[in-house]
Structure 1
Amino acid sequence: MIAFVPLSTVDGAAVEALLDRAFGSDRHARTAYKVRGDAAPLAGLSLAARDDDVLIGTVQCWPIHLHGDDGRRYDLVMIGPVAVEPERQRDGIGRQLMMQALAAAKVEGSDGALMLIGDPEYYGRFFGFDATHTGGWRLPGPVERHRLLARGDDVPAVAGMLGPVVTAPT
């Protein structure tokens, strides 16, 4: 039976190894990594799937900002990556992880402005994400525009640059 647990309870090396198997070891060069920067994933929204205590999937969610050309800063939650063991990728685990993360975001009240980079047919059909408000968004690297998706009542339909939440050094 699959159990969903907080990602923080899983060994970080095991998570990194799963991400390498799912996306390749060159994944750190992707634009999504630049958008989220060095921030820690949001603990309440980032989950792992285990089957008989074996890690088979993860979803990570990140605090990011849209630095609007209007001078405002908009808070968003970036979902992804959703990683599943390659031999289990047709078992519905990714969809279950997304449903768990979206439910957690609703409980926490952080579901008003969610975004991700992904397949519009899949994320639109099952989770209501679309590119309606993302046309003016810029990223610190290449992206296929139709894959820049968002959902929520607070998603800003403004031009601006997506980037990490930067905190002042302590």
Structure 2
Amino acid sequence: MIEIVPIAEVSNDAVEQLLDRAFGTDRHGRTAYRIRDGIPALPALSFAAFDTGALIATIQCWPVLFTGDDGDLVSMVMVGPVAVEPARQRDGIGRMLMRHALETADARGEADALMLIGDPEYYSRFFGFSAERTTGWRVPGPVERARLLSRGDRVPTGTGSLGPRVLA
């Protein structure tokens, strides 16, 4: 039976090793890492999945800030990465963790401005993310525009930049 726990209960080394196995050791140069550079994940929205005591998946969510060219600042939550042990990647564990994180964000009132970088067909079909509002967004690195996705009533539609949001 799969158990979901707060990621804070898992050693950082174990999480990093899983991320390396799922995404490769060169993952740190990706645009998603640049967007959230220098900030910790949100503990209340980040989780790990265990199966019979073994870490098999994680999801982390991050505080990010959209700085509009019009001066508007919109606090957002960046969802992901969703890392699943390679041998378990077709078992629905990532989808389970994603649902859990989104339900938690909704319950906490933090689901009105979400964004991620990911497969548009998957995240649209299962979770309602789309690239409709992100066409004018700038990010610190290359991105396939169709993969820059958002969801929520407060998602900005104008032009501007995404970057880390420092929490007090």
Tell me the TM-score normalized by structure 2: 0.98
Provide the aligned length of Structure 1 versus Structure 2. 168
Aligned to 1:9: 9
Q: Hey, what does 1:45 align to over in structure 2?
A: 45
Aligned pairs (5 A) from 1:87-98: 87-98=87-98
Structure 1 runs of 4+ aligned residues shifted over 4 Å read: none
Residue in structure 2 matched with residue 100 of structure 1 by the alignment = 100
Partner SS, residue 5 of structure 2: strand
Q: CA deviation at 1:167?
A: 5.6
User: Cα offset for 1:72?
Assistant: 1.4
Q: Is the 8 A contact 2:63 2:166 kept in 1?
A: no
CA RMSD of aligned residues (A): 0.9
Q: Does 1:156 align with 2:156?
A: yes
Following superposition, the deviation at residue 158 of structure 1 comes to 1.1
Q: C-alpha offsets along residues 18-39 of structure 1, whole Å, 9 cap, x if unaligned?
A: 0000000000000000001111
Superposed counterparts of 1:74-153, under 5 Å:
74-153=74-153
User: What stretches of structure 1 of length at least 5 have no aligned partner?
Assistant: none
1:54 CA displacement: 0.5
Query: Please, which runs of 5 or more residues in structure 2 have no aligned partner?
Result: none
Do the aligned residues in 1 keep the contact of 2:36 with 2:62 (CA within 8 Å)?
A: yes
TM-score normalised by length of structure 1: 0.97
C-alpha separation between the residues in 1 aligned to 2:51 and 2:158?
42
- Return the letter of the residue paired with 2:140: P
Letter in 2 for 1:59: I
> In structure 2, how many angstroms separate the alpha carbons of the residues matched to 1:145 and 1:13?
32
Kindly provide the CA deviation profile for residues 38-57 of structure 1, in whole angstroms up to 9, marking residues without a partner as x.
Answer: 11111111000000110000
